[in-house]
Amino acid sequence: MSRRGEKPAASLPARARAWLAAAQANPCFRRGMLGAAGVVALDQASKAWIIHGLDLPERQRIEISPVFDLTYVQNYGASFGMLAGGMGSRILLSLVAIGVAAALTVWLGRLGRTWAAAGCAFVIGGALGNLIDRVRQGFVTDFLDFSGLYFPWVFNVADAAINVGVACLVIDAFLHRERKHPKGRDA
């Protein structure tokens, strides 16, 4: 019920239809969703090659150079193995990935800023790439090992995409802040 003179709030289906129409007309949304799909495809293809092409689960490690190796790791947790556990953590991490991807997709539909849209695309693609592993296998396949650079964690393409996406979002935040508060003016 609304007060006199106020418009009644639109129903959820009406708001969803309006968002979808605006998102479909938004070039940042289209490019962002294509970018996210590309990240998922690259992530899943790289993992299939590692597992089936190179047979890394059997070999465990392939030395490439003094700073980089391919090392097979089954990651049952989140980033860097945090929250590793049984079915409860698997469900929790899957729900978090779905929630993050959904929220960023909604935001992406409204965005008109290239850096933010790119950041959303990378994070969405990375979250979905790891979600596919977690749902299908119960763990995420990691294989990129830069321990020769004293980086102790093994990661994958989806993890790298999430980090690139966060960097893009940080860049966008600085650029967007500069536009809101140009130099020489107090904010």
Say whether 142 is catalytic: yes
> Residue with structure tokens 């289906």?
13
Instruction: Give the model's confidence band at 124: pLDDT under 50 very low, under 70 low, under 90 confident, else very high.
Output: very high
State residue 186's pLDDT score: 42
Classified as helix, coil or strand, 141 is: strand
Confidence of residue 115 (pLDDT cuts 50, 70, 90): very high
Of 133, 142, 145, 172, the active-site residue reads 142
Which residue in 43, 133, 145, 159 is the catalytic one? 159
Q: Does the model's pTM come out above 0.95? A: no
Give me the residues paired with residue 74 across strands: 141
Return the pLDDT at 11.
87
CA distance 128 to 93: 11
Instruction: Tell me what the pLDDT averaged over the chain comes to.
Output: 88
In which band, very low, low, confident or very high, does the pLDDT at 183 lie, cut at 50, 70 and 90?
Answer: low
